[in-house]
Every structure is written in C-alpha cells, then in structure tokens.
Amino acid sequence: MKKRSVEIMDTTLRDGEQTSGMSYSASEKLTITKLLIEELKVDRIEVASARVSKGEFDAVNRITNWAKEKKFLNKIEILTFLDNGISLEWMLKTGAKVQNLLTKGSLNHLTHQIQKTPKQHFIEISNSVNSAKREGISTNVYLEDWSNGMKNSKDYVFEYLDFLTQQPIERVLLPDTLGILSPSETFYFISEITNRYPKTHFDFHAHNDYDLSVSNVIEALKAGCHGLHLTVNGMGERAGNAPMASVSAVIEDFLPDIEININEESLYKVSKLVSTFTGFKIPVNKPIVGENVFTQTAGIHADGDNKKNLYGSGGIATKLDAARICINAGCHMFIANGKKENPINNMIESKLYTHFIPRISSLDARKKWIISSLSSSGKIYIDQGAARALNNGKSLLAAGIIKIDGVFEKGENVLVVNENNKSLARGLSSFSSSEINKIKGKQSKEIEIILGYLSKSEVIHKDDMVKL
C-alpha cells in the first residue's frame, strides 16, 4: 500500500513564541531553525511575524542568509498581514520568499473586527497575493477563526474558498484558532472542504484549549488534510498547540497509511534544547519526551560506575560549589562526561548525568534578572486604574498608558511610573516605543486594527514584571 505523504510545518518560533512570557533571541531562533530543518527534518518552518520589531527583523535576516546558503529558503515562512504592502516590503528586506498571509476565516471576525464586506476583503487579498507573486514571493493563506466560521458562517467560508482556490497561492491554512473543535467536528469540516476542493492543498493548525489537539490532528489526517502545523513541546498561547513529539508518534504507530519526514530520533534532543532556551520545563509525565517515559534509564540515579566516569578526574568539591551557585540563581546544572566527543549531545542521548534542580523557580530567577538590570531603556507613564491593577498582580495593558519616554524595542527593560513619576515596576516590554505610542489608551481588541498585525494583548506581562 502506497503511503500518503503529509507535510509538517513547525511554528515553534512564531506561534510558539506567543506563549506567555516567551521571547527568543536572534541566535536562539537561528539555532532552533538549524536543528528543526537539518536534524528533525521538518518540511517547513514559520519563523516570525512581519513588522513586529527590529529584533525580529534581525533574526529573520540571519535565518534567511543561512537558509539561502543551504538551499532551504523555500522552507522559511513569515506570517504577514493585509497592510497595504508593508509586510511585503519587510519580507523583501529580509530575503524571505514565502508569506503566510493572515485573513479572516469567519464572518464574525470580518464584520466586527476589521469591519469589511467579503467583497472588500477578497479584493485586498487578491492584491496582496498578486503583489507578492510579482516580487517572487509565494503565498499560503491563513483563515483566522476558520473553526468558528465553519460553525456559524459556513456560507461565508465556502464563498471565500471558492474565491481563494482560484488565486495563485500554494496552500490554504485552516486554524482552529480558539481550540473549540471536537474530533468529530474536525473530521466533518475538513472532509467537506477536501472533497469540495480536491486540487487544493490544505493544512490544519490545531490549538489545545480542551486537550484535544492530538485527537483533532488524527481526525484531520483521516479527513484528507495535506499538512499539519505543530510546535516543539506543544508551545503556544493559552493551552498551546499540537505537540510535535506526540503527533509524530501517533502517526508512526497508529496511522500506517500516512508518511511524514520527521526524524523521530531527534525529537528528544530538540525538545530538551527548546526547553532550555525558553525556561519552560518539560513535565516529567509528558508523553514521548517526559523523563518518566524513559524508565529504562535512571538519570540522576545512574549507578556508581557511571557516576565515576561522569565525574572524571576533576575535583567534585568545585563542581558542587558551582552547582550551589546555579541552583540559588534559579538555574539547572548538569554534571556529565566532558571527555567524549559532542558532550552535550552525548549527555542528552545517553541520559547519564547528575542533575541539580534550582531552589527557586525560573520565573523568580527571571524577575531577579529584570530587577538587577542597571538601567532602563525607557519609561511608561500609567493612570491610577492601571496602577491599581499592577498592585493587584495584573499585567500592564495599553488602555492604562498615558505616555512614554525614551526609544526602545520589543523585549527591552523599561520603568513603569505613575502620573507623579513615582516608580511602580520594571519589566520587559512586549512592544516597541513606536508601537506603544500608537496603542496607548486603547483597548486590547483594537491593537490588531491599529498596528495591522497580531500581537500580545499585554504591553508588559505580569510574569515579565517586578513591582518596586
């Protein structure tokens, strides 16, 4: 029996970065990209959203330079927006060649969020797709809120797909944006679409709000979808996305007619690396990659002979002194055999190491780092209501911002003060100063309309902020 090939698109670096309190550095994004493509063998990677920040631009530029040299440029994808060509111009400067254009997949989003008619929306989309084609950029199209669209405005969805399948695009991307679908609904809706448009490539993008992402992925595959969007460790906003490791294992063990390119042997390594970069620990009982799954090894309970080899000839006292410093700073520390070639890879694959667990959480350590910064890049003035919310442990929203001082980028350390210039908190801004100037005093639901692209609703998330 000939197997049906299904594409895997990893969105750890884009949708996964929507995880609360999460932001990758440019070097981390490049390292993860290399691992995902060269070791894990994913077919495509969505690495960023266009226009978000200078840091995001630098990261994409580094990734595309590497990908071009390795002939992987067609695997690198960017989330773009209907913004009169600004996203397209941004992409051209980075060297990226594939856009994932965000559009409205439900009548509710179309009429209430961007307040346009289907005809107006379709004209915008056609203009964007054809402009990209003229610039040598290929297009995939997201139908944001598609699952709600199928539930509540199916006529609109099919009117849209009738139009979209006639456009010069590569793929249609179907997201269960709020994670509301049941497995039976997923199968029914995707079956309807794949049967009606047999010549069009459809991806399914699951969210895990009801812990049904893997089940929904299985049903999407049974219904004939051609690609899946996954993240390492299931990272993503709210309850996350469909996890790469679990989906790969389910396909391998339960769907014999489906073929994917994922190198299963690298799943554990990539999972651990992403966990290290993000600071989000993998639960010990997480399927496929959790520590308790590997019952044939003992990890920190490795036997005496193994420990003797791990310690080598160096003094154990100095190693323990270093461990005390690490765990008191909220860091994990591993003692392993450094004499073997590629010691970190060897440690991960053999699982022979001694693991020192921090005495404080990574969140506490992160906040210590924030407060220990010598200077702030800017200052945000907030009103009394926002000050009360901060005092009650809430995040800082745009609605409570009066004005800002200074010029700063997304992810930089800023000082939060009240109307009388009294210091209230310090934190990492989710927006640049220029973006905050546009959205200050506005409700969270207005941010996408004002900026022209999706972003986090909090200007400073509570986990990225320390009260003074």
Q: pLDDT of 50-60, one tens digit each? A: 988 888 899 99
Distance in angstroms (rounded) separating the CA atoms of residues 95 and 65: 8
Which residues have CB under 8 Å from 173's CB, separation 6+?
100, 140, 141, 142, 143, 202, 203, 205, 229
Q: And the tokens for 112?
A: 């209430």
Amino acid letter at 452?
G
Fold exhibited by the domain 367-467:
2.30.130
Q: pLDDT of 123-152, one tens digit each?
A: 999 999 999 999 999 999 999 999 999 999
Q: What is the 8-class DSSP label of residue 394? A: P
Comparing CA positions, the residue from 239, 237, 280 lying closest to residue 457 is 237
Give, for 160, the enclosing helix (H) or strand (E). helix 154-164
Higher pLDDT, 456 or 252: 252
pLDDT for 118: 96
Q: How far apart are CA 464 and CA 367, in angstroms?
A: 7
Q: Which of 77, 144, 412, 435 is catalytic?
A: 144
- For domain 4-278, give the CATH number: 3.20.20.70
pLDDT at residue number 212: 97
| Confidence bin at 272 (pLDDT 50/70/90) | confident
Q: What is the mean pLDDT of residues 356-369?
A: 61
Pairing of strands 333-335, 354-356: antiparallel
The counts of H helices and E strands in the chain are 18, 19
Instruction: Please say if the pLDDT value at position 360 is more than 60.
Output: no
Handedness of CA 218, 48, 93, 51 (dihedral sign): positive
- Does residue 144 have an active-site annotation? yes
Q: Half-sphere exposure of residue 117, counting CA atoms within 13 Å on the CB side?
A: 3
154 vs 365, residue with greater confidence = 154
Side chain identity, residue 19: T
SS3 label, residue 74:
helix
138-144 and 171-175 beta bridge pairing: parallel
Select from 43, 48, 1, 100 the least CA-distant residue to 226: 43
Lowest average pLDDT, out of 63-77, 124-138, 286-300, goes to 286-300
Q: One-letter amino acid identity for 363?
A: L
pTM (whole model) above 0.85: no
- Position 231 pLDDT exceeds 50: yes
Of the listed ranges 194-203, 333-342, 381-390, 433-442, the least confidently predicted one is 333-342
Q: Where are the domains of the chain?
A: 4-278, 296-360, 367-467
Taking the CA atoms of residue 28, residue 29, residue 30 and residue 34 in that order, the dihedral angle to the nearest 10 degrees is 100
Q: Is 426 a catalytic residue?
A: no
Q: Element (H or E) spanning 128, and its range?
A: helix 118-134
Query: What does the alpha-carbon distance between residue 203 and residue 175 come to, in Å, rounded to a whole number?
Result: 8
Region 274-282: what's the mean pLDDT? 82
Distance between CA atoms of residues 397 and 350, nearest Å: 46
Tell me the one-letter amino acid at 266. S
